[in-house]
Amino acid sequence: MSSVGGEHPDAPSGHWSEVADYVAWLVASGLSDAELDRAVEAALREAMARVDCVECHNCCQEHQPQATDEELVLMAQAMGVALDEFIRLYTIETPLANRLVARVGGTRPSEGVCCMLDHGSCIIYSGRPWGCRVYPYHLGSGVRDNVGELKEAYRICPAVRIALAELRKRLPGSV
């Protein structure tokens, strides 16, 4: 269960247009919303058992997490700093009510990379926000409403690539 350089040996690389076509077919399939969600969720759970997220951390290199006030407290505690210092150094307000998004404190690069990722390790892992804890499991809910996010996750996450490849083999009529 090892990922080297964020890639996993079981994760297909698939050409982007093939992935887009398959996701479009999957969403247009005769499966009900509940059946589609269950199928994607089950495939993600199976795939996640084959990928070590801590070693991969591709999502951390692509996203900066949003955090609630309660999550900010946990994040500050995980870093061992006072909440006000954590907020000052690592957050900016977003248009979402009562939400903040982690940003760069000091000299860390900010281009999509989470500032809590340090030399390939999450420095607040025990206090990471909900969005980090559930990625990519959240994609198994409301699949039809989140097609764009599913396609983007395919690009980033080896577990999503594995899950979609497995679904393609299992579901009758797959393209």
Q: Tens digit of pLDDT for each residue in 56-101? A: 889 888 887 888 889 999 999 999 999 999 888 888 777 765 556 6
Residue type, 77: Q
Q: 138: pLDDT confidence band, cut at 50, 70 and 90?
A: confident
Pick the more confident residue, 109 or 45.
45
| The predicted structure's pLDDT at residue 137 | 82
Decide: pTM greater than 0.85. no
CA-nearest of 59, 58, 50 to 162 is 50
pLDDT exceeds 50 at position 4: no
- Three-state SS string over the chain comes to CCCECCECCCCCCCCHHHHHHHHHHHHHCCCCHHHHHHHHHHHHHHHHCCCCHHHHCHHHHHCCCEECHHHHHHHHHHHCCCHHHHHHHHEEECCCCCCEEECCCCCCCCCCCCCCEECCEECCHHHCCHHHHHCCHHHHCCHHHHHHHHHHHHHHCHHHHHHHHHHHHHCCCCC
What is the Cα–Cα distance from 110 to 121, expressed in whole angstroms?
16
Pick the more confident residue, 99 or 118.
118
| Average pLDDT of the chain, as a whole number | 80
